[in-house]
Structure 1
Amino acid sequence: MTRPPLYVRRPFLAALIRQLPLLVVLVAVAVGLLLVTFEHWRRGLFVVALALVGGGLLRLLLPERRVGFLAVRSRPVDVVLMAGVGVVLGGVALAIPSA
């Protein structure tokens, strides 16, 4: 006797697992914004930049059925936009001199 798949037995858990890459990126962005809020803006922006680059890497490496809502457009467009914005934001965070 075979067990039914997870999405039949526990649909909420299966949906949560499917959105795990997006959740990881959003939590990292939230941590970065929290750092910015507490006046560690350079570290916070760098954490946000790393989260975006990581999101781009997740979008590049994970299969379509595992990536969840990180897949918005085609894979090349998503990867270039997320990783590109992350690299630019990281460069800006490092280039601005501290006061």
Structure 2
Amino acid sequence: MVRVLMEHWRQGGVLLGGALLVAAVLRVALPPEQAGLLAIRSRVLDVVCYVVPGIVMVLLAVTITRGQLTLA
């Protein structure tokens, strides 16, 4: 969110989308007692709820051509 608030919204969108994808991988890999707040619903529904918005955010940030995507 810091990158988005600093007007680097494309970089922030990629980072937030990537974080959702990492959360999905962790939800699949970790047992339920170690998943903590990643485990809210069933495993399949949690993964879908992390993957779909994560992919959408990354694709939107990458395909919109206005602004820089590099971390500079």
Assess same fold via TM > 0.5.
yes
Q: CA RMSD in A?
A: 0.9
Instruction: Give the equivalent residue in structure 1 for 2:66.
Output: 98
For CA contacts below 8 A with separation 6 or more, give which structure has more relative contact order.
Answer: 2
Note the alpha carbon deviations across 1:29-77, whole angstroms, 9 max, x for none. xxxx100111111001100000000001100110001000110110000
**TM-score normalised per structure 1:** 0.65
Report the count of equivalent residues. 67
Distance 1:75 1:50 in 2: 19
Within 5 Å, which residues of 2 pair with 1:1-99?
Answer: 33-98=1-66
Where does the alignment leave 5 or more consecutive residues of structure 1 unmatched? 1-32
**TM-score normalised per structure 2:** 0.88
Distance 2:31 2:52 in 1: 21
Where does the alignment leave 5 or more consecutive residues of structure 2 unmatched? 68-72
Distance 2:12 2:60 in 1: 12
